[in-house]
């Protein structure tokens, strides 16, 4: 038996007037998802436990069967693992975004956060910035590490792993002062580091070059999501499946590595709409051919488009995922002569109106070869909810995916 799980990150959304009061999932041309969903078990699932922040680490842990209430320690340590950082028990990891703040001569606290991704800065450009920060602000206690695009890591020996940082993508367009770490609740060191970073980065040659090209500068860091070294159960031991993850982002790679899975890198995978969709499909097919049983393909693009309020690009990302990933991999599995199951779902919604994640349930379908179910003609939020099959805890999805017999509760 082979299992494909495809995660178009943040694909779920709200109805949008400019799309004829349809969601991007409804409006997008996605014949492969719709074809499979017609004969699938279809429903909705909540991957974010009550009271937890709707982040991708929480949601993807749940989909991979790890209860976030038990195992979630923040996304940064998972990213650190993917980056090859050897975290010690006393180390705390922090996500270190390079962001765009306004630059009109105002005080740091009065600046506006314009972009959490600095126009999706390239990794080589960001690496030059992070190396400068390491030279200027790194020491024996704290170290800066380059990740992918705007997503980087700070390791701080004996750093606080419980500080309630604000997520930068939640405050786009707002004055940052009320959201910055504060001295009166233990955040003074974080505040000073972020403020110093602006002085170092604002007129860095990389940013002057970006301004000259009409791009936003990455002129400050934003710290958030602290955590200690993670530990997850071994996926193969838990499920008896040899598995791999395929993703452009360190977070998903880190989850896979912590669970003892293979992490497959794809050249040209970027984490945005201009990613190597076909390369991810080829990597998934190769993994199945090499004898792996379970492949988890994660695509960040719809989520980034939601954060950037790019409606047309969100549709484009969904359509490319359908045509260039799901179509070829499903065709391979159908021709391979072995039973297979395919599950497709977003991890959480990222509505373009809100430009951030929400905790609402998301649609899912599970297609089982050789079985025909009464599914839906259009795989989307509304049609999935109409099936009246709701799974309140996403970490039970793997039970559904791997069960061999048809269930009687979703005909």
Q: Which CATH number characterizes residue 293's domain?
A: 3.40.720.10
42, 34, 46: which is closest to 386 by C-alpha? Answer: 42
Half-sphere exposure of 224 (CA within 13 A, CB side): 18
369 and 335, same structural domain? yes
Render pLDDT for 185-204 as a digit per residue (tens, 0 to 9).
Answer: 999 999 999 999 999 999 99
Q: Is residue 357 assigned to a domain?
A: yes
So what's the pLDDT on residue 171? 95
Q: Is residue 107 assigned to a domain?
A: yes
Scanning 247-343, the segments in alpha helix (DSSP H) are 250-258, 277-289, 301-307, 311-320, 327-335
59 and 106, same structural domain? no
Give the orientation angle of helix 250-258 with respect to helix 75-82, to 10 degrees. Answer: 80
Task: Report the C-alpha gap between 341 and 288 in whole angstroms.
Answer: 13
Backbone angles phi, psi at 58, to 5 degrees: -60, -50
So what's the pLDDT on residue 229? 85
User: Which distant-in-sequence residues (6+ apart) come within 8 Å of 229 by Cβ?
Assistant: 73, 77, 87, 88, 89, 91
Tell me the pLDDT of the chain (411 aa) as tens digits.
Answer: 999 999 999 999 999 999 999 999 999 999 999 999 999 999 999 999 999 989 899 999 999 999 999 998 788 999 999 999 999 999 999 999 999 999 877 899 999 999 999 999 999 999 999 999 999 999 999 999 999 999 999 999 999 999 999 999 999 999 999 999 999 999 999 999 999 999 999 999 999 999 999 999 999 999 999 999 888 999 999 999 999 999 999 999 999 999 999 999 999 999 999 999 999 999 999 999 999 999 999 999 999 999 999 999 999 999 999 999 999 999 999 999 999 999 999 999 999 999 999 999 999 999 999 998 999 999 999 999 999 999 999 999 999 999 865 444 443
Q: Is residue 6 assigned to a domain?
A: yes
DSSP bridge pairs for 298 = 7
In the block, residue with structure tokens 């499903």: 330
So what's the pLDDT on residue 99? 98
Task: Report the C-alpha gap between 275 and 384 in whole angstroms.
Answer: 28
So what's the pLDDT on residue 135? 98
237 and 177, same structural domain? no
The span from the first CA to the last CA of the chain, in angstroms, equals: 23
94 and 64, same structural domain? no
Instruction: Write out the two tokens for 27.
Output: 């409006």
DSSP bridge pairs for 230 = none
Strand duo 151-157 + 220-227: pairing: unpaired
210 and 237, same structural domain? no
Going along 9-126, which residue ranges are E strands?
A: 41-45, 91-101, 113-115
382 and 239, same structural domain? yes
* Residue 356 exposed, middle or buried by CB count within 10 Å (0-12, 13-18, 19+): buried
Domain span holding position 394: 2-73+231-402
Last residue in a domain, options 194, 227, 260: 227
Q: Is residue 150 assigned to a domain?
A: yes
DSSP string, 65-85: T--HHHH---HHHHHHHHTT-
Number of structural domains the chain divides into? 2
In the block, residue with structure tokens 């996403």: 394
- Cβ 353 vs Cβ 324: under 8 Å: no
User: Which distant-in-sequence residues (6+ apart) come within 8 Å of 185 by Cβ?
Assistant: 163, 164
So what's the pLDDT on residue 360? 97
Chain centroid to Cα 81, Å, comes to: 16
| Number of residues in the chain | 411
Last residue in a domain, options 210, 227, 244: 227
112 and 35, same structural domain? no
208 and 94, same structural domain? yes
Last residue in a domain, options 227, 256, 289: 227
So what's the pLDDT on residue 252? 95
352 and 268, same structural domain? yes
DSSP bridge pairs for 366 = 41, 343
Q: Is residue 407 assigned to a domain?
A: no
Q: Is residue 373 assigned to a domain?
A: yes
Q: Is residue 266 assigned to a domain?
A: yes
């Amino acid at each position: 038996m082979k299992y494909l799980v495809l995660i178009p990150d943040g694909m779920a959304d709200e109805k949008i007037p400019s799309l004829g009061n349809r969601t991007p999932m409804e409006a997008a041309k996605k014949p492969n998802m719709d074809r499979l969903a017609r004969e699938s078990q279809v429903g909705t699932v909540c991957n974010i436990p009550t009271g937890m922040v709707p982040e991708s680490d929480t949601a993807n842990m749940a989909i991979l069967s790890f209860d976030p209430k038990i195992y979630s320690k923040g996304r940064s340590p998972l990213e650190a693992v993917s980056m090859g950082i050897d975290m010690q028990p006393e180390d705390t990891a922090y996500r270190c975004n390079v962001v765009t703040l306004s630059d009109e001569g105002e005080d740091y606290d009065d600046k506006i956060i314009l972009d959490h991704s600095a126009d999706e800065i390239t990794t080589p450009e960001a690496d030059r910035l992070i190396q400068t920060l390491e030279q200027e602000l790194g020491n024996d206690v704290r170290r800066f590490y380059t990740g992918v695009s705007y997503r980087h890591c700070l390791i701080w020996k004996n750093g606080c792993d419980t500080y309630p940082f604000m997520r930068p993508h939640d405050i786009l367009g707002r004055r940052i002062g009320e959201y910055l770490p504060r001295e009166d609740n233990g955040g003074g060191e974080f505040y000073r580091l972020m403020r110093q970073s602006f002085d170092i980065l604002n007129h860095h040659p990389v940013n002057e070059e970006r301004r000259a090209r009409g791009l936003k500068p990455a002129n400050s860091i934003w710290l958030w999501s602290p955590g200690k070294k993670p530990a997850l159960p071994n996926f193969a031991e838990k499920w008896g499946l040899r598995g791999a993850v395929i993703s452009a982002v360190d977070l998903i790679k880190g989850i896979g590595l912590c669970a003892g899975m293979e992490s497959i890198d794809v050249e040209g995978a970027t984490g945005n709409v201009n990613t190597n969709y076909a390369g991810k499909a080829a990597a998934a097919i190769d993994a199945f051919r090499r004898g792996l049983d379970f492949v988890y393909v994660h695509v960040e693009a719809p989520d980034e488009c939601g954060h950037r309020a790019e409606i047309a690009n969100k549709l484009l990302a969904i359509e490319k995922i359908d045509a260039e990933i799901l179509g070829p991999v499903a065709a391979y599995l159908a021709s391979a002569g072995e039973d297979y199951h395919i599950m497709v779902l977003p991890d959480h919604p990222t509505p373009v109106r809100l430009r951030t994640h929400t905790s609402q349930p998301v649609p899912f379908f599970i297609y089982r070869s050789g079985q025909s179910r009464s599914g839906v003609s259009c795989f989307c939020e509304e049609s999935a909810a109409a099936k009246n099959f709701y799974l309140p805890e996403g970490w039970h999805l793997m039970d559904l995916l791997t069960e061999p017999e048809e269930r009687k509760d979703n005909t």
